[in-house]
Structure 1
Amino acid sequence: MQFVVKRMTEEYAKQILTWKYEAPYDFYNNEESSESLNELLENPYFALLNTDETLVGFFCIGSAAQVPFGNTVGAYSEDITDIGIGMNPSLTGQGFGAEFFSFILSYVLETYKADSLRLSVAAFNQRAIHLYTKLGFVKKMEFSRGSIEFITMVKK
């Protein structure tokens, strides 16, 4: 699969906000609200399309990729570029993750000249953690927000 990066648009954002993941990944479902729409449009979010112009996923960088509560426990105290991703739920669990995330990593490293990358993931998401580890990320820190545990992972 080949990918094209586009700036987030209202059309792409509205599509993303309708995505519904199956349990336990429904944790990542978004609510369709003006606040959620503004989050995607006013922060550095990017749409990832295939060559047929179909929206296959998105990514974000910077503080938009952080779990806000993590700042209170020092999870983001190091000056590292944060990255967050989301894949169209119709494509998850089909073996596209490595190709999808490798493309995003290459794009971000080349475009933003980042020395290191950090991501945050819910600890229950072993499928994602396996992928991130496979692509060179190592666990850095764990923290909880309510009943949800998060892990930050770093790739140098």
Structure 2
Amino acid sequence: MNLTIKNMDENQARKILSWIYEKPYDFYNNEVTDEEIKERLDGSYKAITEDNGDLFGFLCTGKTARIPVGYKHGVYNDKCVDIGLGMSPDYTGKGYGYNFCTFIINYIRENYRGIPIRLSVATFNKRAIHLYQKLGFVKKDKFTTDFAEFITMINEN
């Protein structure tokens, strides 16, 4: 699996917003709206593609990777690179997660040297939490929104 990170284009944004995940991961389903497309094209989102050009997943960094309610709980006060990521439902649950996340971590390390990486994940997503722990992330803060409970995880390596 050879992956490439590119600036996201409108077709990729539409495709990502159209992805449908099965329960309980349907929490991550989105709607294709002009506002959502605009956000994905603002430069904070990157498309992750395979060598053949197929869309494998995405990465977002900065404020777009944060859960807004987390601010009032102070979970984003420390200096970190916040990341959000998603993998096409065609590839989830099939053993690609470790390589996908390692690729993203390496990209972040190259572009943000010496800054810890932080992500926010819904606590029900045990599969992702287990993977992130294997990759060296540790649980830090917990907070709740109207829809779900989240934790932040940090990788300082």
| TM-score range relative to shorter protein | over 0.9
Deviation at 1:114, TM superposition (A): 4.2
* Closer, same or farther: CA 26–134 of 1 in aligned 2, 3 Å: same
Question: Does 2:136 align with 1:133?
Answer: no
Q: Could you list the runs of 5+ residues in structure 2 that have no partner in the other structure?
A: none
Deviates more, 1:135-144 or 1:33-42: 33-42
* TM superposition shift of 1:147: 4.2
Supply the distance in 1 between the matched residues of 2:112 and 2:15 (Cα, whole angstroms).
Answer: 26
Give 1:1-156 correspondences, 5 Å limit.
Answer: 1-156=1-156
The runs of at least 4 aligned residues of structure 1 exceeding 6 Å deviation read none
Give the C-alpha shift of residue 115 in structure 1.
2.1
SS at match of 2:99: helix
Contact in 1 for aligned 2:144/2:150 (Cα 8 Å):
yes
User: 3-state DSSP class of the match of 2:23?
Assistant: coil
Report how many residues are paired. Answer: 156
Tell me the distance in 1 between the aligned counterparts of 2:114 and 2:37.
27
CA RMSD of aligned residues (A): 0.9
Unaligned runs of 5+ in 1: none
TM-score normalised by L of structure 1: 0.97
Q: Give the residue type in structure 2 aligned to 1:104.
A: I
Q: Counterpart of 1:49 in 2: which secondary structure?
A: strand
SS in structure 1 of the partner of residue 41 of structure 2: helix
Q: CA deviation at 1:141?
A: 0.4
TM-score using structure 2 length: 0.97
Q: Write the letter of the residue equivalent to 1:45.
A: Y
Identity of aligned residues (%): 48
Q: After superposition, what is the alpha-carbon deviation per residue over 1:97-147, rounded to whole angstroms, capped at 9, x for unaligned?
A: 000000010011102224200000000000000000000000000000024
CA distance in 2, matches of 1:15, 1:22: 17
Contact 2:6 2:46 survives alignment (8 Å): yes
Farther off after superposition, 79-88 or 108-117? 108-117
How far apart are residue 72 of structure 1 and its match? 0.9
2:8 & 2:150 partners in 1: Cα distance? 26
SS of the aligned residue for 2:63 comes to: helix
